[in-house]
Structure 1
């Protein structure tokens, strides 16, 4: 029987602990950039519907609902740094149920002192990505006729 995936808070705390072993923000950013091996979207998937508005660099995300009621997120970005940051969020929220995705609070950037290192526009882009992940999870949990990857205005 497969092991259940850890909850968001446990995954986030483990990532924070791992990153805090590194001496400073630049090393932590480099470590996040190294974690992007699973994240690649084919060019055909880099559509306007999958692009995250509010990100200066191109960032795209795709959701794959799983049979156990959780979701798998895959992302890609034009910038290696942004891809590393986006991949961290996608990995944290992957294999979480919709309710957990909607209610979780991300503390990663503050807890690792990356919030002081990242520009306000980059932080705004990460907030936009966080909102999109929640929207996609909620839409995937809705009846198929309601699913849309674009946020509702």
Structure 2
């Protein structure tokens, strides 16, 4: 499945949920299903700045593909960041760079986030994109 197809599938899944509170319940359930990061990664090297809660993003690059793990002490933050890491993990850097996460606004997620959470989410995307750009230079 291409990254574009995966994004479209996620948009379809989230669009079915019309009620914003139910959509966030889905996002929270997603967060609860995510494996927590090992404590060794919960440090300033992986911390996302600009977010009111603690949020960490751990990138890796294997066999020409980028992978991302995330964790947070706030379940909504973890869930929304998790949507991004689940979407972009397992794809080539050029694919990641070509598809920004504007779908979250399309399905009404970002409109219901506090400014601090929107800022944190934006910083997650910036880190994902910067890592993909770095990997592209390494290939």
**Same fold by TM-score greater than 0.5:** yes
Match of 1:113 in 2: 108
Match of 1:65 in 2: 61
How much is the aligned-residue C-alpha RMSD, in angstroms?
1.7
CA distance in 2, matches of 1:28, 1:39: 21
Match of 1:133 in 2: 128
More helix by share: 2
Q: Which runs of 4+ in 1 moved over 6 A?
A: none
Contact 2:27–2:80 (CA<8 Å) still a contact in 1? yes
Q: Structure 1 unaligned runs (5+)?
A: 1-5, 144-153
The 5 A counterparts of 1:1-153 are 6-36=1-31, 37-67=33-63, 69-143=64-138
SS in 2 for 1:54: coil
Using structure 1 for the length normalisation, give the TM-score: 0.82
Q: How far did residue 81 of structure 1 move?
A: 0.7
Q: How far does the alpha carbon of each residue in 1:111-133 deviate from its partner, in whole angstroms, 9 at most, with x for none?
A: 11122211222111111100001
Q: Which has the larger radius of gyration?
A: 1
Q: How far does the alpha carbon of each residue in 1:25-50 deviate from its partner, in whole angstroms, 9 at most, with x for none?
A: 11111112212323421111111010
SS in 2 for 1:73: strand
Contact 1:75–1:83 (CA<8 Å) still a contact in 2? yes
CA distance in 2, matches of 1:66, 1:96: 10
